[in-house]
Amino acid sequence: MRRIMLEKLKQHLPKKEFTILTGARQTGKSTLLKELEKYCKEEGMAVTFLNFEFKTILADLDENPLNLLNYLPQSEGKNVVLIDEVQYLKDPTNFLKLIYDEYAADIKIVATGSSAFYMDSRFEDSLAGRKKIFTLLTCSFDEYLTLLGKDDLLAEKSRIIQNTNAKSLKITQLKTEWDNYMIYGGYPAVITETDVNEKVARLRELRDSFVKRDILEAGVQNEAVFYQLFRLIAAQVGSLINVNELSTTLKVRSETVTHYLQVMQKYFHISLVKPFYRNLRKELVKMPKAYLLDTGLRNCLVNNFQSVQMRLDKGELWENMNFKLLAEQYNFDELKFWRTADGNEVDFVLPEADIPAAIEVKFDEAQIKPNKYQKFRDAYPEIDFRFSWYNAFNEGFFRRI
């Protein structure tokens, strides 16, 4: 399956900067690298794929980064070197810096690696101006439909969006797929499982096996507390994160909670959304709100795979889904929320977007009370204000999201 990210990687190939692809485990980074290798060969580029599972190659490059040259074919143009899991090197930052400084005109590196590598401050300092980082999230809804081979529904969705008067005979099918997408999320291995029980089993494997690898890699000392915190965050998505309250609940130091939240962010399990404010005297404090980067993993953590309409937490789930949709379009640090001391709140604000926007999320259209948000509109008339709702689900749904 071709991911949207593949086009971004293709476009970045001619750039001098090295390309760094990051994201949570099992989102498809290795598969993307193979797709890029295929593309390079089709375009007649000199391309080399290095698999660091081969210990002899790894040892050779650890001994001397310039040994890389021995693996490259003779070429009139630039050599493209694709490296999966670059963190297996003893000093990946030094390796990338040396190759860039000496051979950037001749070699283009595209590398994936674990989040522990990107947590290293040396990576940011030493490779400043030498790399561009791309973050691969779990599949978008369009990618979900493509992976399932439902090209007819993808085409119908596109027709609905392009024609504001369009009515669809497939709207029920689209709603069914959207509901499944919200419940089970966008991990490729989960999407392709046809049996519901197997989908849940896959998500539990992600929760237990792959998240545990992140925990070990990050040096987390108390695995049980980490999971407790993770479940608390999943259960209260969209709520303010009060570190002191969480530390009291979990009976650990606030520094431990802060560290574990940082680990969850670095491994692309959660994102902390900061408040948007211009008047420090009127708008509330700087506590962030938390969202998970995949709703399937979120539902696994709270152990709830009920249908959307049956859920007691459908409002929180829909708000988290809106965060995921926005995260597919904007950088994490561009997403804000607005909240004042007297209780006024707007779920998402994008003050730095090309067209600054604010979005208030409601599960049901009947819950919308426009006058409640007049204070925000008066304070920021330059920001386009709109609502996002789930019910009633019709063709307009796909024109709003």
| pLDDT for res 82 | 98
**Structure tokens, 38:** 């295929």
| pLDDT for res 284 | 53
pLDDT digits (tens, 9 = 90+) for 46-82: 999 998 888 999 999 999 999 999 999 988 889 999 9
Say how many CA atoms lie within 13 Å of 72 toward its Cβ: 24
Say how many CA atoms lie within 13 Å of 149 toward its Cβ: 3
Whether the bond into 358 is cis, omega within 30 of 0 = no
| pLDDT for res 87 | 85
Distance CA 32, CA 36 (A): 6
Distance CA 184, CA 368 (A): 27
Is pLDDT larger for residue 279 or for residue 263?
Answer: 263
| pLDDT for res 130 | 94
Distance CA 386, CA 104 (A): 46
| pLDDT for res 119 | 59
The pLDDT-based confidence of 341 (bands split at 50, 70, 90) is confident
pLDDT digits (tens, 9 = 90+) for 371-397: 999 999 999 999 999 999 999 999 999
| pLDDT for res 383 | 96
Percent of the chain with pLDDT over 90: 83
Q: Is 118 left (phi over 0), alpha (psi -120 to 50) or beta?
A: alpha
Please compute the mean of the pLDDT values over residues 34-46 and round it to a whole number: 97
| 123-154 exposure pattern, b = at least 16 Cβ within 10 A, e = fewer | beebbeebbeebbbbbbbbebbbbbbebeebb
Query: Which H helix or E strand runs over 82?
Result: strand 79-84
Helix, strand, coil share of the chain (percent; to 5):
50, 15, 30
- Phi then psi for residue 12, to 5 deg, are -90, -10
The pLDDT-based confidence of 218 (bands split at 50, 70, 90) is confident
Domain ranges of the chain: 4-136, 141-400
Lowest-confidence pick of 168-172, 197-201, 317-321, 352-356 = 352-356
Please compute the mean of the pLDDT values over residues 269-276 and round it to a whole number: 94
pLDDT digits (tens, 9 = 90+) for 18-29: 999 999 999 999
Q: What is the mean pLDDT of the chain?
A: 93
pLDDT at 111 over 60: yes
pLDDT at 122 over 90: no
Q: What CATH architecture applies to the domain 4-136?
A: 3-Layer(aba) Sandwich (3.40)
Q: What is the DSSP letter of 340?
A: B
Distance CA 229, CA 234 (A): 9
End-to-end CA distance of the chain: 23
Contact 6, 34 (CB under 8 A): no
pLDDT at 209 over 60: yes
